């Protein structure tokens, strides 16, 4: 087992696997319902203030035009992904490959040799899948309304196709995440915790030793101006866009983001992972 990505601290990625990564054909599901309509328009995408990460390609700030589109108000939950699997028999890449990345604090059984020097808090765990996020013996039975994790870009695309949807572009994702606000750091403004109130699920306390609560339900915290929940923190979200020839862009940060090493829970922040990679803090939402 080995890992790689530009920012392994945010989410390690698998080296190319011998297991075919192209998902099998799946049947289309019902027409999309319950989505948020986002008006078209031009917005300022990116960031170039003192918190920006130029190495991530956040800047320069540029005017981007977006056509009207629909987007899910929440990430795809374990319950919704289970319905997809039941209807199609789909097997995720983590299930076919046999392992996935788990935050070391959560791992109990099936731990493989650590291989992420830049981020020793990640370990490969045999049997870690969307059904068993921490590996053998774990379950999502009491997390049906939490975001599904351990899903690759290919897995997310297969679900989206079945649901009659698609993954959002990076520009659509950021436009929707901003909720109508212009050039603000977070979906609610520039202050991380207005009036001392927590607004997103990111790391609390010293990293990586403080106890982590992991994911929270998909409708936690107050939605942004467009009605989207948890676009900062909780889980990284796959987009349809490529970072380079080998990586796909992920946005939004996760419950593991901490200002001491990764403040990528800002709406302009971005990173990437390989399309067959999966971790315990990456999920997705769909667009149409």
HSE (side-chain half, CA atoms, 13 Å) at 91: 8
- Find all residues with CB under 8 Å of 5, minimum gap 6, and list them: 11, 12, 13, 247, 271, 272, 273, 274, 277
Q: What is the pLDDT of residues 201-224, one digit of tens each?
A: 999 999 889 999 999 999 999 999
**In the predicted model, is pLDDT for residue 156 greater than 90?**
yes
The pLDDT score that the predictor gives to residue 116 is: 77
Domain positions in the chain are: 36-74+145-283
Q: What is the mean pLDDT of residues 141-166?
A: 97
**Separation between Cα atoms, residue 127 and residue 112, nearest integer Å:** 11
- What are 4's two structure tokens? 């790689």
According to CATH, what is the number of the domain 36-74+145-283?
3.90.1580.10
**In the predicted model, is pLDDT for residue 12 greater than 80?**
no
- Find all residues with CB under 8 Å of 25, minimum gap 6, and list them: none
Helix, strand, coil percent values for the chain (each to nearest 5): 15, 20, 65
**In the predicted model, is pLDDT for residue 107 greater than 90?**
yes
Q: What is the pLDDT of residues 223-251, one digit of tens each?
A: 999 999 999 999 999 999 999 999 999 99
- Find all residues with CB under 8 Å of 132, minimum gap 6, and list them: 138, 139, 140
Task: Report the mean per-residue pLDDT for the chain.
Answer: 91
- Between 179 and 49, the higher pLDDT residue: 179
The pLDDT score that the predictor gives to residue 1 is: 44
* Band (113; pLDDT cuts 50, 70, 90): confident
pTM of the model: 0.92
**In the predicted model, is pLDDT for residue 27 greater than 80?**
no
User: What proportion of the chain, given as a percentage, has pLDDT over 70?
Assistant: 90
Instruction: Report whether 273 contacts 5 (CB < 8 A).
Output: yes
Residue with tokens 């109508």: 180
């Amino acid at each position: 087992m080995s890992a790689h990505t530009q920012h392994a601290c945010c989410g390690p990625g698998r080296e190319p696997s011998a297991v075919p990564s192209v998902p099998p054909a799946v049947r289309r599901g019902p027409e999309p319902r319950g989505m948020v309509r986002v008006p078209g328009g031009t917005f300022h995408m990116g960031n170039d203030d003192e918190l920006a990460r130029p190495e991530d390609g956040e800047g320069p700030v540029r005017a981007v035009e977006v056509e009207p589109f629909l987007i899910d108000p929440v990430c795809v939950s374990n319950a919704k992904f289970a319905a997809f699997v039941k209807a199609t028999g789909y097997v995720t890449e983590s299930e076919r490959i046999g392992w996935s990345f788990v935050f070391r604090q959560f791992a109990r059984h099936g731990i493989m040799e650590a291989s992420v020097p830049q981020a020793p808090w990640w370990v490969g765990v045999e049997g870690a899948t969307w059904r068993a996020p921490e590996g053998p013996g774990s379950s999502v039975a009491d997390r049906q309304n939490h975001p599904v994790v351990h899903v690759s870009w290919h897995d997310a695309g297969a679900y989206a196709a079945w649901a009659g949807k698609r993954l959002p572009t990076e520009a659509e994702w950021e436009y929707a995440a901003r909720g109508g606000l212009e050039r603000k750091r977070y979906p609610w403004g520039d202050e991380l915790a207005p009036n001392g109130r927590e607004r997103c699920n990111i790391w609390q306390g010293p990293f990586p030793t403080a106890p982590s609560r992991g994911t929270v339900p998909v409708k936690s915290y107050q939605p942004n101006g467009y009605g989207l929940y948890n676009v900062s923190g909780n889980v990284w979200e796959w987009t349809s866009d490529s970072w380079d020839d080998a990586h796909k862009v992920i946005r939004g940060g996760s419950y593991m983001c901490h200002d001491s090493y990764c403040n990528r829970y800002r709406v302009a922040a971005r990173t990437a992972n390989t399309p067959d990679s999966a971790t315990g803090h990456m999920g997705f939402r769909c667009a149409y």
